[in-house]
Each structure stands twice: as C-alpha cells, then as structure tokens.
Structure 1
Amino acid sequence: MSERQSGRAVAAPVLVPDESSSPSLHPVPSEVPASTPPELTARALVAGGLIGAVLAVTNVYTGLKTGFWESGCVLSSLLAFGGLSAMARRGPPVSPLETNLSQTAAVSVGAVPATAGLLGAVPALAMLGTQPPGWAVALWGVGLGTLGVLFAFALRRRLLEDEALPFPTGAATAELISTLHSTGSAYAERVRGLWVSGLASMGLTLSRDVWGLVPQASMLPGSLTVGGLSANSLMLGIGWNPMMLGIGVLVGPRAGLSILLGSALAWAGLAPWLVSAKVVTDTSFPTLSGWLLWPGVGLMVGAAATSLLSQVGALPSVMRDLRKLGQDGAGWESTAGRWVARAVLPAIVLTGVMAWFAFQLSPLYFLLALLLTFPLCAVCARATGQTDIAPMSPVGQLAQVGFGLGVPGHPGLNVAAGGVVSGAASHTSGSLWSLQAGRLLGASASRQLLVQLPGVLLGAAVAVPAYALLVSTHGLGSETLPMPTAQQFKAVAELASKGLGELPPSSTLATGLGFLAGVLLSVGARGRLARWLPSAAAMGIGFVVPAYYSVTLCLGALLAAGVARFRPSATQTVQSAGAGAIVGESLLSVLIAALVAAGLIHQG
C-alpha cells in the first residue's frame, strides 16, 4: 500500500495495492439499460462468497498478527475475473458488471473481522476479563455490518455523486476490472505472481510451523548487545514470514520505513534505557511491550485525532442525507432506499440485544454509542473518500474516550461502545469503495446493496471460528499474535476509565510525547514535507510488534520500491505476489491451528 492507499494512518489499517495510474473512467448512470449484460448472477454470487471467505480468514490472521487488514477490492476483482472466466466456458461470457458484483460481495464478507471487533474490541475485552460467546459476537458483527452497509447506501449519493469524492481504491478497482475485460494479457500478468508466491508462502509456513525446519526468525548474533541487552532478547533480526514481506510490498516504502523507525526507537532505544534505568526489571517481550505500548498508542491516537478534527465540518450535511434516506431516486434506487430505511431499525435492535447480552452494554449506553455512530461513520467515510485513509479504529477510540470520561471505572464498557462505532465504520468505508467502483462501471447500486447484506452473514460465519481457532492455539497478545489494535483498544480503555495514574512507571511522559509527535507529524504530512515525514500511526505499530516483524515488513516495502524504480513493468506482478504471500501464509496458518486444536498434528 503506497501513500495513496487506504488505512495507512490508523491502527488496523486497510491494505490496498497501489494502482499507479489515475482512473480514466467516467461516471455512468447507475440505472443501466435492460440490454446491459447480466450483472446479478448465481456464478457471481458463488465466486464472491468463496473469495470473500478466503479474505475473511486472511484478515483475521493478518489483523491479529500485525494490525493490518486487506480491503480486498483489487485482489477480489482479480480472483473474481479468473473464477468467472472459468465458469463461463459453459455459459454466457463474463461482463465487467458481473466481476464488479462479485468483488462487492467478497469485500463485504472480508470486512467482517474488523466489523465484528475480532481485531480490536473483542480480544481487548478478553484481555480485560470479559469473553463473549462466539455466536453472540457473530450476531453482533451481523448487526454492525448491516448498519455499515445501510449507512454507506445513505451516504452514496452525496459523497460519490454530489461531491464527487475520489475514493481512489474504488476508482482503481473499476480501472482494473475495465482493463481485465479489455486486455487479454492483463490477467495473466497479475495472476502469475499471485499463485507462485501463494504456493511458496504455504511451503515456507509448513516448513516453519509444522516440520520445524525453518525458525520463526534469524536473530542477530547473541554476542551483539544494544544498551547492555542482547540482540536476541530484543528480537532484532529478520523473520521467516512471507506474510510480512507481502504486507511490506503493499504498504509501500513510507509506511515500511515508518514502522522500522518506530521499532528502532522502541526496541533499540527505549527498551535498553528501561532496563538500565531499572524502570523494568524483566526483559521478556510481554513486559517490555507492556511499557512500550503506551508511547506507541500516543503516536496513533495523536495522528487519528488530527485526521478526525479535519472532518467535523461535514456533519450537518451528512445528517441531512440520513434524514432523506429512501425519499430520493426512482425505480430500483427508490425501492432499495425504502428497504434500507426499513432495515435500519431491525439492525439496531439486533445489535442492541447482543450488546446488552454479550458485552454488558446497557440499552441506554448502547443508544448513546449509536448516537455517536451516525456522525462518526460519516466522518470516517468522508476521510476515506478524500484521502483513501479509513480511520475505523480511531473513531472507535474517540467514542471510548467519551465513555471513559463519562463513566469512569468501567474499561469494558468503553471498549464495547468503541466497538459499536468502529465496527459500523469499517463496513461503511468498505461498502463505499465498492459502490464507487460500481458507479464508474455503470453498475446498479441497488444490486450491490443486495449482495453486500448476505455477505455480512457469510463473513460472520467464517471469521468467528477462524478467530477462535487462532486465539486458542496461540493465546492473546503472544509473540505470534501480538494484536496491536486490541492492545490499543485496551490501553485507551484503561487510560480513559482509570486515568494517568494507572500507567506503568515513567510512561505518562512518553505517552504525552507520543501523542504530541503524532499530532505534529500528521499536521506536517498535509504540507510540503509530506513525502519526507514518517507516518505516525505506522511508527506506533512498530512500538507494539516484535522488532523482526518490522524489519521483515520494511524489507518487503523496499523490495517493491526497488522493482518500481528499476523495472516498472513488473510492478503489478510484484504487488500480486505480495497479496499471494499474505493469503498463502494466512490460510495455511489457520488450517494448522485447526489441526493442532484437533490433536492431529503438533507444531514444530
């Protein structure tokens, strides 16, 4: 993901492969003539569901491991085109609208891990001592996902048509679909790297996690010390993680170098000082990361607050749009709008019941969270449209702060309230990317809505079991699953509900300095120095994950940048290879976790 890509400035950012050229497509009316090729077909739904299931499993693993998750717009378009083309050998030819509808369904399925809070709120609650049952989390995700889809449909006309916000990921997706259907070689060029890297990633993961032939990481020599601590204890080295290389390929050099900078400051700078100053006496990863988490959270929250403040002025116009829901349009648009308006109340009731039953969020507090959800989803959507950065976790953490200050002493309460806001915002942004692609291709927004809603159900059915498997196998906040977003939710909850006095010794000043640095870096990134300043949110992630994660990720980012510089024709192949590496390791890791849980294998 390059500087044009979504989510790079927030915790749990969304990965989107960089499409280097600006979209050349022009908007087409969403009500297309009856002679248009088929759009809503059984094969499009089947392909979208299968691709979305893969994406959901991948996002659970990558989100818990690194804090990043993949929006899936570009990747699912590529896979959908290939799958639909294979199905079309015995049927009518595939149309761009079919491919777009398939990616729309896949994106809706794949966003559910973030929507249901599996990457942030749910593990944070577990670390605070509250473990909601899996079926309740699934229904909670269905309710929030439905609200997110409905909000996106409500905001579509103003953001996509009236204000014509670019939503670059959606535009890049439309351009890719158009290219795949007009250029025979485009698919072969992109898919080659995807499949080769995916298979290689699976092979390396199998060798590492089952056979024990490959270590988790190659550390620097134990004789090498940094501030009196051995390189081994600081986890300085390079990981044998194809997924990390793949994430680096997609995030781009600025984010990759920013994560490495944050990691260097944390693990090669602050960690040795903590030990030498006797602030901490235990040099284990959990102890050190428990302190370093705080300045990292300060960086991420400072960056998020700056981004959100810039969007506050848009709230009045958004609220007017929500009140008009179902009153505009004609034909399919009017009918869909009315059904959306009618579906809002059932979705609210479902989410509210689950919030009360599983998350101990009383009806009154749920309604207060819901009042924040409407405007903050709009803020998140507008930021996504303007910058392609989707601040899902920050809007949730803003709600956390409000609840923490209003109801002190109940950290679980503000985590649950933050989960309501961030969950709905996740699906709102993902839906708008798909709706933008559809608008540029001349698709029916109403039909896209029809496939997004069942996609939420499938996503919950796939993501929740995958999450349970991984957590039961590796544990919460372990070296394998450091859960950066969940750690951030937990930290903000404790800070907002208990105050600065609950922070680890000497970390208050570090947290404040991190917040100030996040604000200054985010403000500076809006000016001429943008290309030279590091990403504050990416630096914050470097404080939380093991150092070798950051080194490996940065290596992938520099590799992709080198290819783009010296062999531009191979850029798209390398990006597809990065996506393949992520998918390959994620899928096999979840399968290994299932086999371990069943007692069929033992990890090497």
Structure 2
Amino acid sequence: MNAPPESLDSPAAVTPVLGTGPRLVTSPTPVVLPGEFTARSLVGGCIIGALLAITNVYMGLKTGWWESGSIIAAVLGFSGLSALGRRRGGGPTMLETNLTQTTASAVGAMPAVAGLLGSIPALTLMGLSVPSWGIVVWSITLGVLGVLAAYLLRSRLLDQEGLAFPTGVATAELITALHRTGRVERPGRAQVLLGSGLFTMAVTWMRDVQAWVPWVTAAPGKLAGLPASTFTLGIGWSPMLMAVGMMAGLQMSLSMVLGALVSWVGLAPGLARSGSVDAQLGYDGFAVWLTWPGVGLMVGAALVSLGMQARSLLGAAAKDLRSLGRSEEPSVGRWAVWAGLAACVLTLVLGRVVFGLPMLHTLLALVLVLPLCAVCARSAGQMDISPVSQMGQLTQLASGTAFPGPTGLNVAAGSVVAGAVAQTGVSLWSYKAGHLLKSSPARQLLSQLLGVLVGSLVSVPVYLLLVDTYGLGEALPVPSAHQFRIVASVSVQGLAGLPPEAARAAALGFFVGAALTLAARGRLARVLPSAVAMGLGMLLPAHYAMTIGLGAVLVALARRVRPDMVDAHMPALGAGAIAGESIMGLLIAGLVALELIQR
C-alpha cells in the first residue's frame, strides 16, 4: 500500500516482499521472447485490474489506503492463464504473466490517479461539482503523464543505478517461482483467496442487506454524560477492515488505535462538554474539528520525512531530468516525449474547462510534475514508499502561495501532481519486475497505457455509484479528502475561519508528528507509534481503527502459534477479504440504484 492516506505506507506494506524466492540476475538488455504481448495477457490484466480498481475505490473511500496489487495480480494472472492454457494455447510464459500484472497494476492505480480518493471528494465536500465525463478524461490524461514519466525515468533508475524497488523484485521472484514449479508457490493460496472472498461477500450481504450481522457493536458506558456510541466507540464487523489490520501490521494498526483514542476518548468528550461541537451530529460534527490535529500530525511527519531526504532526492532528481531522452529505444523515447507534450496541452484545456483552473495554475502544476515524479520514483526505488499525498500537498502549497484564490483551484492544482505520481510509482515497480525478467519496456509501456484507459472507465462509475448510495460521511469517511481541504484552506486563507482552538490543536499535532518522525530514525523506530497512522486514526470513526487493530492483534497471536501457516496464507486471506467486501458493497450499491433492494 502507498504512503497513507493513499496506501498503507507502500505497496510493499500490504504485499509482502518475498525473501525466499530464487534470486534473479539483472540484465540491462531486454530480450523480447515469444508469448509476451498477447491478447490473453492484456485481457486478463484488464479483468484483474478492474477488480483491483473496484477494491481500491471502496477501500480508499473507507480508509484512505489503496493497494498496488502487483503480487496478487501475478498470482491471479498465472492461475487464470494456466487454467485457460489447459484448454487452448498452452500455459503462460513468464513474460505473459508479468505483462498481466503490469496491466492490472496500471488499472488498479487509476482511482488514486483520478483523484477519487482525495481531490474529487474534497471538491464535493466543498460544494463544488465536477462532471463525470470530465473526471474520466482528466484521469486518463494524468495517468498518461504518470506512465510516461515512469518510462522516461526508467533507464536511469533501473539500468544505470539499479535501485532496489523491492515490490518489483518480489513480483519478479514470485513469477519466477510460479513458472519453475508450475503451480502457485504457496499451497492453497488461490483456494484461500477465493474462499475468503466468498465468505466475506456473504457476511457483507448479511450485514448490509439482511441486517443479520451488526455494522458496529457499540462500546458500553458513557463519556461526558453521553453514550459511548456518540463518539463512534466500538468494534465494526467489517472483514475488509480486519484484513487491512492483518496486512498493515501491529505497529501501524496500534498507532491508528492510539490516534483514535486521542481523538474520541481524549478530545471529543471535552468538545462536547464545552459546546464547541454539537454532539447530536455524531461523527460528522466532531470530524470538522478533529480533522485539524489529525492532518497536523500527518503533515508534520511528511514534511520532516521529506526534509531529511530532500538534499539527496532533489539532487538525484535533477540528474534524472538531465538524463531524459537518452533512451535505449530512441523511437519509443521520442514518441513518449511527444505524447507527454500532447497530454500537457490537454491538461491545460481540461483544467480550464472542467475545474475552471486559470492557465497559470495548471502551468505551475505541470512544471512540477516531472521533478516531483522523479522524487517520488526515487523514494519508491530506495524505500519502497511512494509519497503521493505529500507531492500533492507540496503542489497545493506552491499554488496557494503563488496564486492566492479560491480553495477549489488549489485542490485541483494539487490533483495534477498527485495523480501523475500515483501512476509513476506503480509503473516503476512493474518496470523493475520486467527488468529482472528481461521483458520489453516498450511493450510494458503499451500495456500500461491500455490500463490507464480501462482503469478510468471502471473507476469513475464505481466511485459515483458508491457515493450516490452511501454518501460521504461516516459510511465513507474519505480521510484523504480532508487533507486536501485543510492544506488548501491553510495555504490560501491562513488560519482564519478555523473552529475554536483548532489552530492550536493543528500546530500541536504538527510538532508531535515532526518529533515522532525525528525520534524514529534510530532504534526507537520499532517501538514509537507511526505519526501518519495516528493521524489517520484521528480522522476515521473510532470503530474503524478498533477493527483494524483487532485484525492486527489476531494475526500477531496466530503467528505465535503457527507462524508458517500465517506466512503462507495471510496475504491471500486478507486480499480475499478486502476484495470480497468491496465487490459486494458495489453490487449492493448497484441493486439499490436499480431499486431492487432498499438499505
């Protein structure tokens, strides 16, 4: 998953980096073997990617996290192509499996690229509407920019410097292991994935339609003379949230629980007693105030983290930019440059037509796209973390400072960079896998461009259907949107108009987040809470964080008893639970829209 609130800190945080597979020898010269760019690899990648996109829209709106899906896409791609090959065409080659996961990852990243997990709902919460056709075309344009940026940076980062990109290495190792054994490496992985998904779909149906399973079991007792349920305290019966905790790990999940306790047990009762918040409004009322210290924590941590790496990342990014154009495949390199220029022109036009962005705002964002994509790409290569939200926030601050104006323009400008860098990180993980497997970068590029188109066409209708059915609020908290709103407000208006004492709370959160990040540089990193996860826990209803924490604790206990079983099946179990609830949630939304059922 990628840096919260985009993706559980990085795709590798959800997708385990395999350490036991066969090691691969890097070769700087790609060898195009037969059976790579096939119809079945592209179609299979689009289908698997569509499932990832649906999952990412649902999970992103719920928790702010999304999953790159490289490992799961490789497993599903190999299984599906092998089953198809038994009937006709023979089994897949390694390059076919890699192209399948490359396409699927590009499709699955599109909810983040389109801004559906942050900027678009932020604009909606600000009372601004964006036409659906505009979101689709906008997302395609930003996706193309991100894919092309990754392609242009690929030669230097992979061939010349050989950066690690651990998620890409893990994907290549898994694909190699699958094809050496001729079956899924972990026995029963596919069966566990399918069984988990079907069970989760049944539970979601019984919870949301039949009401046989409660959505939340509220905590007993009272706080500030009010029922604990007023402060969203309890345990939610959501397999997806428990799976997120299973995959995020104990430290990250318990950090979220700590943030929730600070918000909903420490701060919220005092706000209710003082009358600063109307407690009758529940989550929606408290969230207006609690968002400020939560975002303060995350921004403080993000800025310190980037500051500690700024010198090396920016210096290397400058070298990356100077090296562009020296492609080992000059014809594709020139074509990519021209396609990028066309996408920039289209972004200028769409910014004006769809968002009302003045040309100078969009030009500033476009000037920042490639440098910040280079910074993000290098971070993904060195630390396996793609800081998507931080890049968007830096653009917001630059836009708001250079061109003060309505906050909506600030949000739209930030979405340009955030969208492009989201696709860049995912694309480079795929390029790393392809580099190790001696795949053709040009063919991977074409499959990613197809994935951008398919992902946009899938993600936007799914988002609109879910928001229309469930609404933005406690059901879909969309924490990333609050970050966009607050950064835009501060960069344009300063601290004017904040709720009482919220500015002080935001400043305190900022310094706590910065201090925790600085202190976690050494041995304390394993014991100190994650400031980013704490901030996310403050933004979500408390029962979300409690459920995520419960999932992490259960896995930690199970690992003490049967570590081999947990390591073998937990990733598939968690992925199935996330996919199952997401797909059933979308199905229920569709049935509600067709008036076949009522919620």
TM-score range, shorter chain: over 0.9
- Find the aligned partners of 1:322 and 1:370 in 2 and give their Cα distance: 14
The CA RMSD measured in Å over matched residues stands at 1.8
Q: Residue 525 in 1 paired to residue 520 in 2?
A: yes
| Deviation at residue 192 of structure 1 after TM alignment | 2.2
Pairs within 5 Å for 1:104-253: 104-183=102-181, 184=183, 186=185, 188-221=187-220, 224-253=221-250
What does residue 56 of structure 1 align with? 53
Q: Which moved more, 1:231-240 or 1:462-471?
A: 231-240
SS at 1:501 equivalent:
coil
**Of 439-448 and 48-57, the range deviating more from structure 2:** 439-448
For residue 310 of structure 1, give the secondary structure of its aligned residue in structure 2.
Answer: helix
Deviation at 1:595, TM superposition (A): 1.4
The two structures have a TM-score, normalised by structure 2, of 0.95
Query: Which amino acid letter does the alignment assign opposite residue 95 of structure 2?
Result: L
2:576 to 561, 567, 580: 580
* Map of 1:290 onto structure 2: 288
Aligned to 1:472: 468
Matched, 1:98 2:96: yes
CA distance in 1, matches of 2:57, 2:424: 19
Structure 2, gaps ≥5 residues long:
none
Which residue of the other structure, out of 62, 65, 68, is the alignment partner of 1:68?
A: 65
Cα shift at 1:37:
4.4
2:85 aligned partner: 88
Cα gap change, 1:500 to 1:557, in 2 (>3 Å) = same
The 1:396–1:33 alpha-carbon spacing in structure 2 relative to 1, beyond 3 Å, is: closer
User: Is residue 263–residue 550 contact of structure 1 (8 Å, CA) maintained in 2?
Assistant: yes
CA drift of 1:30 comes to: 5.3
Q: Deviations over 1:382-416 (max 9, x none)?
A: 11211112110111011112222333341001101
Task: Say if 2:263 is the partner of 1:266.
Answer: yes
Corresponding residue number in structure 1 for 2:408: 412
1:311-390 correspondence runs (5 A): 311-313=309-311, 314-329=313-328, 333-390=329-386
Q: Displacement of 1:195 after TM fit?
A: 0.9
Report what 2:430 is aligned to.
434
Compared CA separation, residues 185 and 374, structure 1 to 2 (3 A): closer
Change (3 A) 1:564 1:17: farther
Distance in structure 1 (CA, Å) of the matches to 2:595 and 2:67: 31
Deviation digits for residues 184-217 of structure 1 (CA, Å, limit 9, x no counterpart): 3525432122111100110011011111211211
1:77 is matched with 74
Q: Which residue of 1 aligns with 2:506?
A: 511
Displacement, 1:41? 1.0
Query: 2:2, 2:67 within 8 Å by CA — same for their partners in 1?
Result: no
Q: CA deviation at 1:65?
A: 0.8
Letter in 2 for 1:294: W
The secondary structure found in structure 2 opposite 1:215 is coil
Deviation of residue 11 (structure 1)?
Answer: 7.3
Are residues 497 and 412 of structure 1, via their aligned partners in 2, closer, same or farther at CA, if it must alter by over 3 Å? same
Query: TM-score, normalising length from structure 1?
Result: 0.94
Cα distance in 2, alignment partners of residues 31 and 129 from structure 1: 52
Of stretches 538-547 and 380-389 in structure 1, the one that deviates more from structure 2 is 380-389
Are the counterparts in 2 of residues 6 and 384 from structure 1 also a CA contact under 8 Å?
no
Structure 1 residues 488, 402: CA separation in 2 closer, same or farther (over 3 Å shift)? same
Please state how far the C-alpha of 1:33 moved relative to its aligned partner: 4.2
Compared CA separation, residues 61 and 86, structure 1 to 2 (3 A): same
Deviation at 1:300, TM superposition (A): 0.9
Distance 2:279 2:334 in 1: 60
Q: Give the residue type in structure 2 aligned to 1:116.
A: A
CA contact (8 A) 1:45 1:105 kept: yes
Q: Matches of 1:499 and 1:316 in 2, distance apart?
A: 31
Give the whole-Å Cα distance in 1 for the aligned partners of 2:568 and 2:390: 31
Retained in 1: the 8 A contact 2:55–2:582?
yes
Distance 1:60 1:492, change over 3 A: same
- Whether the aligned pair in 2 keeps the contact of 1:275 and 1:281 (CA below 8 Å) is yes
Partner of 1:452: 448
Confirm or deny: 8 A CA contact 1:45 1:451 kept in the other structure. yes
Native 8 Å contact 1:215 1:240 kept in 2: yes
Q: Does the CA contact (< 8 Å) of 1:11 and 1:300 recur in 2?
A: no
Partner of 2:230: helix, strand, or coil?
Answer: coil
* Alpha-carbon distance change, 248 to 282 in structure 1, aligned in 2, over 3 angstroms: same
The number of residue pairs the alignment matches comes to 592
Q: Secondary structure of the equivalent of 1:434?
A: helix
Residue 46 in 1 paired to residue 43 in 2? yes
Q: Call closer, same or farther: CA 1:13–1:120 in 2, change over 3 Å.
A: farther
Instruction: Verify: 1:401 aligned to 2:397, yes or no.
Output: yes
1:568 and 2:563 are equivalent in the alignment = yes
CA contact (8 A) 1:13 1:69 kept: no
Distance 1:434 1:554 in 2: 31
Quick one: which amino acid aligns to residue 208 of structure 1? R
- Equivalent residue of 1:29, what SS? coil
1:328 shift after superposition: 2.9
Runs of 4+ in 1 over 6 A off after TM superposition: 9-12
Deviation sequence 1:286-305 (CA, Å, 0-9, x none)? 11111101000001111111
Deviations 1:546-599 (A, max 9, x none): 111111111111222233333222213111100100000001111111111121
Asked whether the 8 Å contact 2:107–2:452 carries over to 1, the reply is yes
Per-residue deviation at 1:379?
1.4
Partners of 2:171 and 2:308 lie apart in 1 by: 27
Query: CA offset at residue 480 of structure 1?
Result: 0.7
